[in-house]
């Protein structure tokens, strides 16, 4: 396994991390707990060190399912891994339709309550990387950063970051308490955060890419006929899974297959290798419930693309037609 350091923080993580949300939330009913416990152990043995969760990854009946799962499954390996979790978000469950709207809450009191809950569920005395899950427009970034500084001084967290941040928010927060990493949506289908890559390099901040396979569609393993349960699976309403989207994205899928054949890889591995070879500070965190995907994803770190190849891929992406892609659940005003 290869490793990367997130910005200038000194926090060293596996070049590919494991996004654990889908084990409990948004991709159907929660997976079998014993199977996921075994999968997480397999991930550690393969060399994964970065495990990503959040306090809200769960179900209406058990909203903290994912943190509880990781807390139990990863306890034997705690000194070998980096646990990242998130605060500052709840779901609007008044609407039965998936995905539910998001309600951000980054008030200092809420944050302090959240960190204690996460520490308890994760069965640890500290959180390695603590993200603000979404920006709360009613709380200034300086206020949040001051709370993070307090939590670091108290030893409850070691590093902090912001998910789905803007440049202005990031710069203001970073001035008060240095940010270790941001976690934003980034894939071949979702490149709107690319301008932040240079900002992160300037400030010495890592870029953790969530949904790096565009919620699975870039694996080239789904078709317009793949069924998803609208009651539990967000993909049922994601625009990239509409029938017409597969037609619009035909050129992209063909490009992935061509590159995969050239590099004796898979479409997923090319998608991940493209971003890892684009900038040394990018760490993708694809999720999975399957052992073969776990092996496939970590194998992307072995694929080397030259600068010329990355530029050629970027040029091709710029010129081709693409469908809409899921950009995250709506924020409730």
- For residue 116, with 0-12 CB atoms within 10 Å meaning exposed, 13-18 middle and 19 or more buried, which class applies? exposed
Q: Residue 66 pLDDT > 80, yes or no?
A: yes
Q: What integer pLDDT is reported at residue 98 of this predicted model? A: 62
Residue pair 259/269 in contact by the 8 Å Cβ criterion:
no
* The predicted structure's pLDDT at residue 166: 98
Reported as a single tens digit per residue, the pLDDT across 159-176 is 999 999 999 999 999 999
pLDDT tens digits along 285-301: 999 999 999 999 999 99
- In the chain the domains, ranked by start, together with CATH numbers, are 3-319 (3.20.20.100)
E strand or H helix that includes residue 43: helix 33-46
The confidence score (pLDDT) of residue 190 equals 97
232 — pLDDT class (breaks 50, 70, 90)? very high
pLDDT at 96 over 70: no
The answer to whether 28 and 63 have CB atoms below 8 angstroms apart is no
Nearest to 214 by CA among 139, 286, 318: 286
Cα gap 139→146, rounded to integer Å: 12
Are 129 and 160 within 8 A, CB to CB? yes
Looking at residue 126, the DSSP 8-state letter turns out to be -
CA distances from 177 to 77, 125, 159, 170 (A): 29, 21, 10, 10
Q: What confidence category does residue 94 fall into, taking pLDDT thresholds of 50, 70 and 90?
A: low
Query: Cα–chain-centroid distance for residue 53?
Result: 9
Assess whether pLDDT exceeds 80 at residue 331.
no
| Helix (H) / strand (E) containing 207 | strand 206-210
pLDDT at site 68: 98
How confident is the model over 9-51, as pLDDT tens digits?
999 999 999 999 999 999 999 999 999 999 999 999 999 999 9
Q: What is the dihedral of CA 37, 42, 43, 46, to 10 degrees?
A: 170
Q: What's residue 197's pLDDT?
A: 98
57 given a catalytic annotation: yes
**DSSP 3-state of 98:** coil
d(CA 61, CA 82): 28
Q: Please calculate the CA angle 117-121-126 and round it to the nearest 5 degrees.
A: 75
Can you give the length of the chain in residues?
333
Confidence (pLDDT) at 327: 87
Catalytic residue among 2, 3, 27, 57: 57
pLDDT band at 201 (very low <50, low <70, confident <90, very high): very high
Mean pLDDT of 237-244: 96
Distances (CA, A) of 303 to 71, 269, 278: 32, 8, 12
Beta-strand ranges (E) seen in 63-204 are 82-87, 89-91, 102-104, 127-132, 157-163, 181-185
> Half-sphere exposure of 277 toward its Cβ, with a 13 Å CA cutoff?
21
Which residues neighbour 312 within 8 Å (Cβ) at sequence distance 6 or greater? none
pLDDT at 259 over 70: yes
DSSP state of 232: T
């Amino acid at each position: 396994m290869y490793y990367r350091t997130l910005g200038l923080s000194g926090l060293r993580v596996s070049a590919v991390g494991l996004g654990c949300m889908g084990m409990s939330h948004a991709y159907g009913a929660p997976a079998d707990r014993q199977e996921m416990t075994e999968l997480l152990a397999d991930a550690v043995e393969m060399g994964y060190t970065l495990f990503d969760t959040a306090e809200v990854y769960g179900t209406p009946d058990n909203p903290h399912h994912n943190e509880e799962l990781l807390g139990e499954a990863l306890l034997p390996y705690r000194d070998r891994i980096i646990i990242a979790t998130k605060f500052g978000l709840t779901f609007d469950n008044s609407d039965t339709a998936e995905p539910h709207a998001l309600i951000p809450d980054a008030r200092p009191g809420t944050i302090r309550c959240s960190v204690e809950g996460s520490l308890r569920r994760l069965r640890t005395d500290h959180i390695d990387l603590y993200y603000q899950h979404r920006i709360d427009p009613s709380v200034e970034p300086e206020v949040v950063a001051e709370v993070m500084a307090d939590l670091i001084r108290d030893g409850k967290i070691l590093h902090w970051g912001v998910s789905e941040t803007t440049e202005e928010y990031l710069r203001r927060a970073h001035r008060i308490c240095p940010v270790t990493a941001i976690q934003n949506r980034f894939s071949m289908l979702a490149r709107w955060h690319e301008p932040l890559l240079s900002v992160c390099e300037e400030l010495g901040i890592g870029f953790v890419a969530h949904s790096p396979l565009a919620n699975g569609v870039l694996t080239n393993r789904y078709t317009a006929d793949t069924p998803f349960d609208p009651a539990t699976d967000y993909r049922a309403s994601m625009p990239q899974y509409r029938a017409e989207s597969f037609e619009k994205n035909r050129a992209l899928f063909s490009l992935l297959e061509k590159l995969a054949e050239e590099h004796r890889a898979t479409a997923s591995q090319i998608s991940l290798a493209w971003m890892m070879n684009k900038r040394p500070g990018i760490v993708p965190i694809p999720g999975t419930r399957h052992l073969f995907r776990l092996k496939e994803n970590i194998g992307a770190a072995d694929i080397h693309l030259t600068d010329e190849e990355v530029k050629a891929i970027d040029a091709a992406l710029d010129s081709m037609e693409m469908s809409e892609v899921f950009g995250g659940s709506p924020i409730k005003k």
